[in-house]
Amino acid sequence: MANLLWLQGGACSGNTMSFLNAEEPSACDLVTDFGINVLWHPSLGVELGDNLQKLLRDCVSGAISLDIFVFEGTVVNAPNGTGEWNRFAGRPMKQWVNELAKAAQFVVAIGDCATWGGIPATAPNPSESQGLQFLKRDHGGFLGKSFVSRAGLPVINVPGCPAHPDWITQIVVAVATGRTSDITLDEFQRPRTFFQSFTQTGCTRNMHFAYKVSATEFGQRKGCLFYDLGCRGPMTHSPCNRILWNRVSSKTRAGMPCLGCTEPEFPFFDLAPGTVFKTQTVMGVPKDLPTGVDKKSYIALTGAAKNAAPEWAERDIFVV
């Protein structure tokens, strides 16, 4: 039995919606089969008003043991650090977050907003939003660099806009089944089991990447989205092509460029004019190269790839 509390700050509920798409386990399975006791959730919770406020106060005081505190959405600090632009249960949400994080065994940040600020923190960041322990790439965030929860871990960051339901449910099951010690985190506090590999790992367009065959515009039946359409698959850490979305596909499989939404910089280039769905280049070479590849090697690699490309690679492959 593990008590789980889920709250939302500057959020769109997208991670909740994603979570509800889960199967094996489904949201209901977590409750009925894995002994997860959902103390409250904004979309599912039964408690309201005063009863909820009492429940929250009991979690803070320890009268109710808070095993897992899940936070979705940014911590809103506006205006001027007060947090009044996001009030919840009678006070600024940031005050609840501060107290609950200290009381919880594990603190899990779900989605980009809670991990690094996400869309609301895009310049000019009108809501003065922060992630729980990061703001973009800067360590610290709302809870501060040195924060650790009662179990001795920093905030477990499950990024993505939204996070995949499995990235949420499997971590919860790992905690519920005593596999906490197998959860190792990378430098951005993401579970390595999900975020060591790249979005490109398992992409159906990998052959086109290898032969430098480009999808030059949308709606084509072949080609890699990296060269012209701004895909960030080769430099984004996620298992999107290992653990498929909604069990059936991924953005790159469907023909949509990866936006790099599991990385702290998302949305990249702050969505400045000319940057959306277009590969940024200098003298024909992408500004952002596949992780670990330098410019000279890239030019050599793609030159050789182009020469080696078989004739079929330029023809449609994902055909009717």
The span of 102-110, 124-132, 147-155, 174-182 binding another protein (CB under 8 A) equals 124-132
Residue 20 touching another protein (CB under 8 A): yes
Neighbours of 294 (CB within 10 A): 9
Residue 301 identity (one-letter amino acid): L
Residue 138 or 270: the one with the smaller Cβ distance to another protein is 270
Identity of the residue, 312 or 318, whose beta carbon is nearer to another protein in the bound complex: 318
Question: Which of 5, 6, 8, 110 is close enough to bind another protein by CB under 8 A?
Answer: 8
Q: How many CA atoms lie within 13 A of 291 on its CB side?
A: 14
Q: What is the rounded CA–CA span in Å between residue 8 and residue 52?
A: 14
Considering only the stretches 60-68, 82-90, 101-109, 188-196, report the one whose residues sit in contact with another protein under the rule CB under 8 A. 82-90
Both tokens of 238, joined, read 């996620």
The one among 35, 51, 145, 312 contacting another protein by CB under 8 A: 51
Burial class (CB in 10 A: 0-12, 13-18, 19+), 199: buried
Is residue 139 a contact partner of residue 145, using CB atoms and an 8 Å limit?
A: yes
Closest to another protein by CB, 120 or 234: 120
According to CB under 8 A, which residues from 275 to 314 bind another protein? 275-277
List the one residue from 140, 202, 255, 290 that touches another protein (CB under 8 A). 255
Residue environment code for 205-243, b if the CB has 16+ CB neighbours within 10 A, otherwise e: bbbbbebbbbbeeeeeebbbbbbbbbbbbbbbbbbbbeb
Of positions 76, 135, 156, 231, contacts another protein by CB under 8 A: 76
| Residues whose CB is less than 8 angstroms from the CB of residue 305 and which lie 6 or more positions away in sequence, other chains included | 210, 211, 212
Q: Is residue 1 part of the contact set for another protein (CB under 8 A)?
A: no
DSSP one-letter string for 115-126: HH-TGGGSTT-T
Q: Which is nearer to another protein, 24 or 138 (CB)?
A: 24
Please report, as residue ranges, which positions from 142 to 181 form the binding site for another protein (by CB under 8 A).
161-162
Pick one of 69, 71, 88, 106: the residue that binds another protein (CB under 8 A).
88
Sign of the alpha-carbon dihedral angle for 270, 274, 276, 278: negative
Total binding residues for another protein by CB under 8 A? Answer: 87
Using the rule CB under 8 A, which residue among 63, 254, 285, 304 binds another protein? 254
Q: Is 320 helix (H, G, I), strand (E, B) or coil?
A: coil
Which residue, 135 or 302, has its beta carbon nearer to another protein? 135
Q: Note whether 129 and 122 are within 8 A (CB).
A: no
Among 145, 247, 287, 295, binds another protein (CB under 8 A): 247
Segment contacting another protein by CB under 8 A, of 11-19, 97-105, 180-188, 231-239: 11-19
d(CA 87, CA 265): 27
Comparing CB distances to another protein, the nearer of 2 and 89 is 89
The CA distance from 232 to 254, in Å, is: 15
Give the interface segment with another protein, choosing from 130-138, 238-246, 279-287, 298-306 (CB under 8 A).
238-246
To another protein, the closest distance from the beta carbon of 87 in angstroms equals 5
The reply to whether 34 sits near another protein by the rule CB under 8 A is no
Near another protein by CB under 8 A: residue from 31, 153, 185, 313? 31
214 binds another protein (CB under 8 A): no
Dihedral Cα 312, 313, 314, 315, nearest 10 deg: 50
Work out which of 137, 270, 291, 306 binds another protein, going by CB under 8 A.
270
